[in-house]
Chain A
Amino acid sequence: MGKRLKPLKLLVICVPASIVLSALIVYATRSRFTCEVTGIDNNLDLDEHDVQEGKDDLRSNSTWNPCTFDICFNLEKCPLTRPFATYVYNDLLTSSSNENPFSPQLLVDVLKETGSYTSDPTKACVFFSILWNREREIENVGHLETQIHSLAQWGEYGENHILVELSTDQSPGRSMLEGVSTGKAIIARSVISPAKPFSTGFDILLPPLRTAEADSMDLLSPLLPVSRDTFIHFHGEHSPHQHPGSGAITPQDIRSLQQLLKGKERVDIQLQCQQPATGKTKRAVEGQWMLCGDQKSRLELCSKSMFSLVPSPGGANAGTGVGIYTRLIESLMCGSIPVVVGVGVLPFDEVIDWSRAGLIVPSGRYSDILYILRSVSSGDIQNFRLKGRHLWYTYFSSPLRVVQIAVAIVRSRTLHPPPPAPHFVGKQLLYFPAPHHKQITSPSFTNSFTAYSWSFWNDIPGPLFSYPSSPFNPGLHFSRLNEVAISHSASQSAKGRAAIESTFKKNFLVNVPPEQFTVVIITYKRNKELMEGLAHLKGIPSLNKVVIVWNNEDDPSADLKWPDIGIPIVVVRGKGNSLNNKFLPYKEIETEAVLQLDDDVLMAPEEIEFGFRVWCENRERMVGFFGRSHIYNFKDKRWNYGKTNCMFSMSLTGCTFIHKTYMYLYSYLMPKEVRARVDHIMDCEDIAMNFLAAHLSRKPPMKVCTNSDFHCAGCKANISKKKYFFHERSVCIQFLTRIYGYQPLLYTQSRTDPETTEIPFSE
């Protein structure tokens, strides 16, 4: 029996022991093999901990130096459910003065317009504080740190704060923030120095400013002709230094370039300023190239040159000092292509692609500079100048714009979409609904969080707004077919039609929704013609709505007999009695396509429908029925307006399809001088729109064939029959050419005819 007990004893001991052992093993290796973690009760809020978990690391200075966006910015204050809100501290960190009248209040006004401003600091995502980099403020640097740290929302590290340090070309070559502890704040400034290094991707490099006002477009030089008097140009005076950093361009280097080009090309190089050199203060940084004279004289000089040299002072943080950036921006203004040698950081280069506006050359390539310059073709030069002008206009044309862009850059980092371009809310005078009409509105703002891209920042229309839709972004587009087109096909029975539609969709993978267009008619005291024109719009399948812009000071009288066309009609007021009202982006327009119609134009419904379908295939162009042209008068050396038989370059907006985005761009992006001129002479709004469309799309308008003639023979006299009609429009063309810097209109000889052969669908 003792023998039997032994195995039992073993069993009694071993089994629990092994159970315990195996439990221990499982427990110990659990996290290694199953990686389980306790469950979570609270869904959404817990996700925000991912920033908190690393907090212990963040307290020690070294982990967040250099700062990156992930480490140093607190996104909890910027939820996507609220609009992106900024708060601007009222007082400048440095004292204001008459020289630099830029005040924070200007910025607040601009931000309010875009809906990005909040006066409640607890609701704000970022906090802006502005200071001026000025010579006499340098003595107060000690104060500066205490002032910064005592900002109301600074907290411990100044998270989500942006210190904007504005410099002019009179500013000293050093940053005011050297030696000042700025914590986790983003610093937006124009001057970088080794004592205050620049955190790439976090800090923002601003261009230097001149005054608080926007630079006038009169300062710009025309983009053409391509060739200019001098080949390359450089005026500057060097501040000598003992130990030039690597990559410095010294006066020797420039003199050798001058020698090399002697007798081959005309150069304009001066290494000693005739007028006193700008920026030659006692704080000028060694190695800097100082500017000569004032902006006006510099622009005049560089407008005669094809290339402008922008040399680096060398050193670890190549690019110190405002001289370089002033040179760069001024070369964009005068159309002289900047040749930037050895400069590490350029303004806003986190978003701007500078290589499309100039030649960015590493300093080691200076020896081959002639080779590079000689290889730039005329096409390249034109592209550089066009892009340079676009960049200047979008990013650098005024101090307000500069700070707006800084706001936009920070906003893009938080992934907030850009604010929507404001549509125009006019006073609605009348509204006639059509209850039986099937309305199809176009989808809007379909790329809220996918808007930011290289093209968004560098191409038109620019980074300040998002538009409901864009004519330039087709995606994987298939042919857009109207369902209505299918229903007009052979079979008349409902069943047959449905069968054809489904077969068509199955075979052609048509997954793009059908669309309609809106008619916009501007009218002034011509009620009889208006009613007749409206009646003519009956029976167009793709018509969504008719918007009548009422320029008449008096409201429409009650005894007007509005026709019933089965389509909703809205009568709305613009801004006063202005022809620009034609192109305001009315809130009532809910489609991408807009047909601009004059009140006296009578077109057949088939022609309009066909014109719309042509537009669907050419969304970035103006598609119209009546063409006009611009002609160069060699005797007087200027452009004239006219009508030619064989080719045309403009489409009269008396009957033209355009994309709604062009109306936004006309009203907000186009230089205001143009709209002012249209108001002044009560004419030329159609020429202005043609210039805009040609400039943005670089394509001529499309002409759809029609049997009608433009002018209504038996109608009362209208604007177009004024005496000096052609002369005035010619003057318009010359004015617009000067504004754009070149002649953007393009000729075309082709015309669209409808395909009339019927092709029956096979099942």
Chain B
Amino acid sequence: MGKPLRLLVTCVPASIVLIALFVYATRSRFTGEVTRIDNNQDQRKVDEHDVQEGVALETNSIALEGSLMVPSHSGKDDLRSNSTWNPCTFDICFNLEKCPFTHPFATYVYDDLLTSSSNENPFSPQLLVDVLKETGSYTSDPTKACVFFSILWNRESERENVGHLEKKIHSLAQWGAYGENHVLVELSTDQSPGRSMLEGVSTGKAIIARSVISPAKLFSTGFDILLPPLRTAEADSMDLLSPLLPVSRETFIHFHGEHCPHQHPGPGAITPEHIRSLQQLLKGKERVDIQLQCQQPATGKTKGAKEGQWMLCGDQKSRLELCSKSMFSLVPSPGGPNAGTGVGIYTRLIESLMCGSIPVVVGVGVLPFDEVIDWSRAGLIVPSGRYSDILHILRSVSSGDIQNFRLKGRHLWYTYFSSPLRVVQIAVAIVRSRTLHPPPPAPHFLGKQLLYSCPPPQADYLSFLHQ
């Protein structure tokens, strides 16, 4: 009689314990439960950031429900070898686990520039921090951040320290093994050399936002971000813009630039020969303003200037004055597999948006922010093989088209390119859009309430109306 009782006494609790263990182990797998969030403040923050009206009541319950398992990155072993994530795409090289929807999109900016600051380029990370704080995207706690921004200046004087640069980058506090979720922002001005500072530097899985692309440091389309070149830390004044009307202007097409000759022009290069032949073609038919030799010293003619580049003439003020008298501005490609190297091209492009002269971009592969901007509405984007028909194309642009181009060009300049801060804000916005976080809500104004006489009508407002 003792035996079955003993069995019972041992087996039942044992099986209960076993079952409990089993349930505990598989709990998170099948029910997807996550411990409740006790902190009410987090809940409220989530509510504030919810822009969609349809989900208001559901938000709390969703936050508590927790999330599903992230699709197994069991391919993680693949990721260690360099070849599988080169070129990087967002799915492979970005870790979304740091960016859950229950937290607002938070960025962290490293305080120090990767390259030394100087008086010439007073753009400091602190300016960026202030702007991000306004939109509520900034956090000073790196463990809560989704994306980490590190800024460096592309300057001639920094070229010698490239070896240091890699070490500095890899020793950033949150770099980890591969620099996931990092954005290296390389700012260039039109004085910058034609090469990227990051050539030869191993940047792991970081997104590189820069203005200069070269074959030595390939541009990952859809992952890297192409920035326009900057001038100073201040916003360009709206006084520099030209009026959108009248449609007709003195000269038909305009181009001032000096060519840096190269031995082996890549496919699609526009050489001085081509521009001269265009000049000949238009002689007597239209007024052109083409100069292939700078009267003032050519900008960017440093020893780092790349072969085949078209260098700018004079300073921004004189260039804007010149192009505001012309209907079209030629923006030619230097050719080569990564057509679009060098800041000269993009400076030309942005300045033509400012002066209302429609850019005719010939053979340039990548344009600033072109993953989000539809450049074909702001100018004529022409493959280099079509250069021979350029006159035909230009002549067919109607007044309505010109008005549309100018309107859209001004809008693009104002929204995307009017100040360095705006440029970096847009880079942040692009990364945020990839994580599917909604854009931050426009801040309403909280004025100081001086008088509050009667309480606002409650739910029976309608009945109040019908009295």
Contact = CB atoms under 8 A, between A and B. Distances in A.
B31 A75 contact: no
B365 A68 contact: yes
Contacts of A73: 385
Contacts of A452: 376
Contacts of A54: 265-269, 335
A257 B69 CA distance: 9
A418 B281 CA distance: 27
A590 to B, nearest CB: 17
Contact of B72 (A80, A248, A473, A509): A248
B400 interface: yes
Interface stretch (B7-15, B322-330, B349-357, B387-395): B387-395
A253 B68 contact: yes
A37 interface: yes
A74 B268 CA distance: 11
B269 A53 contact: yes
B90 A244 contact: no
A344 B278 CA distance: 42
Query: Secondary structure at chain A's binding surface: helix, strand, loop or mixed?
Result: loop
A248 B92 CA distance: 11
Given A37-B272, A449-B380, A46 B277 contact: yes
Interface in A21-41: 31, 34-37, 39-40
A243 B276 contact: no
A37 B271 contact: yes
Given A63-B337, A200-B221, A453-B374, A370 B69 contact: no
B53 A377 contact: yes
A750 interface: no
B380 A450 contact: yes
Contacts of A362: 90-91, 94, 96, 434-436
Give the one of B261, B267, B376, B399 with max A CB within 10 A: B267
Nearest to B336: A54
B273 A40 contact: yes
Give the one of A47, A57, A256, A257 with max B CB within 10 A: A47
Contact of B392 (A57, A81, A200, A372): A81
A249 interface: yes
Contact of A344 (B53, B71, B91, B374): B91
A746 to B, nearest CB: 23
B276 to A, nearest CB: 6
B70 A364 contact: yes
Contact of B91 (A50, A51, A243, A318): A318
B58 A40 contact: no
A243 B221 contact: no
A83 B176 CA distance: 57
Interface string A39-67: 11001111111110111111000010000
Contacts, number: 254
Contacts of B50: 375
Contacts of B65: 260, 370
B69 A43 contact: no
Contacts of A55: 267
Interface stretch (A144-152, A440-448, A642-650): A440-448
Given A344-B89, A454-B374, A50 B270 contact: yes
Contact of A247 (B84, B91, B259): B91
Contacts of B434: 362
Nearest to A63: B337
Interface string B3-21: 0000000000000000000
B281 A43 contact: yes
Nearest to A454: B374
A342 interface: yes
A3 B341 CA distance: 63
Contacts of B436: 361-362, 365, 368, 372
Interface string B352-378: 000000000001010000000010110
B401 to A, nearest CB: 5
23 contacts: A35-B258, A35-B293, A37-B273, A54-B268, A69-B383, A244-B74, A247-B91, A259-B31, A362-B91, A363-B71, A364-B70, A364-B71, A368-B436, A372-B101, A375-B50, A375-B55, A376-B54, A378-B54, A413-B383, A414-B383, A415-B393, A449-B393, A509-B245
Given A40-B277, A81-B392, A362-B435, 4 more contacts: A35-B261, A364-B95, A378-B54, A473-B400
Interface of B: 29-32, 50, 52-55, 58, 62, 65, 67-76, 78-79, 84, 89-92, 94-97, 100-101, 221, 244-247, 258-261, 264-274, 276-278, 280-281, 292-293, 335, 337, 339, 363, 365, 374, 376-377, 380, 382-389, 392-393, 396-401, 403-405, 407, 434-436
